[in-house]
Every structure is written in C-alpha cells, then in structure tokens.
Amino acid sequence: MPEIATTATVNARPEEVWALLRDFNGLGAWHPAMPPSVIEEGHGPEAVGAVRRFEIADGSVVRERLTAFSDADRSYSYTLEETALPMSDYHAMLAVSPAASGGATIKWSVSFNCPPEEERHLEDFVRNVVFGSGMVVLKARFQ
C-alpha cells in the first residue's frame, strides 16, 4: 500500500492559508492540474459526506467524498469514490498548521491500494502531478 506525504512551509499565517484550502470544492480554483469541481447532492463543501466531482479533460470522472472536516484543526480528509485509475482504498488528508519558523506548514498525505505493477507509476503521479504541482503553486502564492 503506497503512502505518500508532502509538506510545504509558506510565508503566511495558517488562518490565511486555511481560508483558501478549507473549501473542499475549491481545489480546481488554485491547483493547476485539476479542473473545477461540483458538489453533488446539494451538500455544502464543508459538510462531511459531500462528494466533489471533477470531469477530466480526457472525459473521465473523478469523485471524492469528504470524510472529516475541522476548522479548529485546519484539516480535512477524503476518500476516492470513482476514478479511471487502478486505485482503491484511497484515503487522503490535507492540513495546515503553524510552522516552527513562522508561517504555515501545509501537509497533504494519502494511502491507497493498487496493482503491484502500477505502484511506481501511481506513486509518481500522485507525488509529482497531484501533490507536487499543487504545493509549487501554494508556495508561490504565499511568498
């Protein structure tokens, strides 16, 4: 089971960073690799159980369900409900905390299952395309 964790420290107050990241439906507004999403079934973007749906450029659909949300902890967790990728048991978490040197630390982590022959490719995709490109944009935004 691959487990990936990425962190970035940015020059902004944790509350300022969380104000951007707390919107479960807002990933496509700041992440360069993700299109805009819609929340299904009339839930709010901070309601546990809300499902965000992305339509990818190749026509495939990605659906993710919010499983935990805390303004107090500045974090949320979600699972992957639907994807064309060979992944299962996908559990991710995004959190913002005060950095020891000032500013804020953003942590984005995930664990998932996949066929052994797909593991390296999927780890690289998540680490570099999903997490990596997102963190690059966040670092630039909050410098």
| CATH number where 65 lies | 3.30.530.20
Q: What is the pLDDT of residue 68?
A: 98
Question: What CA–CA distance (Å, rounded) separates 106 from 128?
Answer: 16
40 token code pair:
């299904």
Question: What CA–CA distance (Å, rounded) separates 104 from 18?
Answer: 9
Give the pLDDT mean for 114-125.
Answer: 95
Q: What is the pLDDT of residue 62?
A: 93
pLDDT, tens digit, 9 for 90 and up, residues 32-46: 988 999 999 878 888
Confidence of residue 57 (pLDDT cuts 50, 70, 90): confident
pLDDT at 136 over 80: yes
Count of domains forming the chain: 1
Q: What is the pLDDT of residue 101?
A: 84
Question: What CA–CA distance (Å, rounded) separates 115 from 50?
Answer: 28
Q: What is the pLDDT of residue 58?
A: 85
Strand order in the sheet with 37-39: 3-10, 104-113, 88-98, 75-82, 61-70, 51-55, 37-39
Q: What is the pLDDT of residue 93?
A: 98
Q: What is the pLDDT of residue 95?
A: 98
pTM of the model: 0.92
Give the pLDDT mean for 4-31.
Answer: 95
Domain that holds residue 67: 3-141
Q: What is the pLDDT of residue 22?
A: 96
